[in-house]
Amino acid sequence: MAAPPSASTQPVTIVPATNEEEDIIVLSRITNDERPLKRVVRKFSAYAALAFPPAGLRELDTAPTTPEKSLDAREALLVELGSFGLHLRKAAMVCAAEARQVEEYHLEKARIEEERVALRRHIEQLKTTLEEAQVERAQKQEYDQFAERINQFPSRAERERMIAALENDIAVIREERNQQQRAMQEQRKAFVSVIGNLAELQTTMRERVSADSDEPPAPPTNAPPTAAPSPAPPPPLTAIDTDEREEGEADVSSDEAPLSATLNPRARQFIPRGGLPQPTRVLRSSASSTPAPQPTPPAEDDDIEMGEVAEPGRSPRNARGKRRLEELEEGEASELSELSELSD
């Protein structure tokens, strides 16, 4: 008979589990199925109680124990042990499969990591290739622009032909310039010689005129001696007449008048010197052989217009010379003015 509980027994207080402990218990129960093990424990307890009952329980147990019950309990225990062993093998196979899956997972993870690294390298390579392609495209566009500009100009062969034609033209122009320079040099020399001859002829004519004017006139044989009308001296130029001259004009002397009015027809024949050219001698001889006409004094009113009054002391020849002086344009000179030498 069981002993009654003592009065000193204290109630047991159960401390509730925390959230972390509850999570661990639930996880362990999910992963570890304890029901087969509990059934084996119950079967083993029943078989042990039937086959080997305790001494105190034998006295209290009134029901008889038969060997059939013990055998049934033993068979049930063996069946439960076999079922538990099968469950253990199944769990072992599941663990092995899970281990293989874990290994495959690690392998797949390593492969994915390698692929990630390879893809990163490939992306970097593609990025570099893209940058090179962009640079090449920009260079190609710039090249196309330069090519378009170059194509606007003529080709090299055409340029060479143009340069050759220009060089030929330059050579022809240089040759023409040399020819023109030679021709100008010859013309300059000829012109210098002509100027020299003209200057010499002018000097000779002046000497001849001065010699004729210095010799006394010969008296006529039939006519009574009369004095030849001497030309009136030109009036002196005043400041007003000097100002009226244009720039570059020279003084006009009385030599511009006709020779018949200035030369003495009664002068003796002039014998030229040996230095005179032959054509001048022949011309002088022919002029002296023919009788010179008597000079007719010019009318005083030739240069006087209608309504004008002749100025006293002014000869018509001087008036004519002054009018001729006024008619000269800028840069002109008289017939007896000195010729300047031609500069090279």
SS3 content of the chain, % helix, strand, coil (to 5): 65, 0, 35
pTM, rounded to two decimals: 0.32
- pLDDT for residue 154: 85
For CA atoms 299, 305, 307, 308, give the dihedral sign. Answer: negative
For the chain, percent of residues with pLDDT exceeding 90: 28
- pLDDT for residue 165: 95
- pLDDT for residue 322: 56
Mean pLDDT, all residues of the chain:
71
Sorting pLDDT into bands at 50, 70 and 90, what band is 334?
A: low
The total of other beta-carbon atoms located within 10 Å of residue 318's CB is 19
The total of other beta-carbon atoms located within 10 Å of residue 200's CB is 13
Task: Convert 37-66 to b/e letters by CB count within 10 Å (16 or more is b).
Answer: eebbeebbebbeebeeeeeeeeeeeeeeee
- pLDDT for residue 324: 57
- pLDDT for residue 284: 47
- pLDDT for residue 30: 66
Q: What's the pLDDT tens digit per position in 213-272?
A: 876 555 545 544 444 444 444 444 444 444 444 444 444 444 444 444 445 555 555 555
- Mean pLDDT check: name the lowest of 119-123, 151-155, 178-182, 312-316: 312-316
Domain ranges in the chain? 21-149
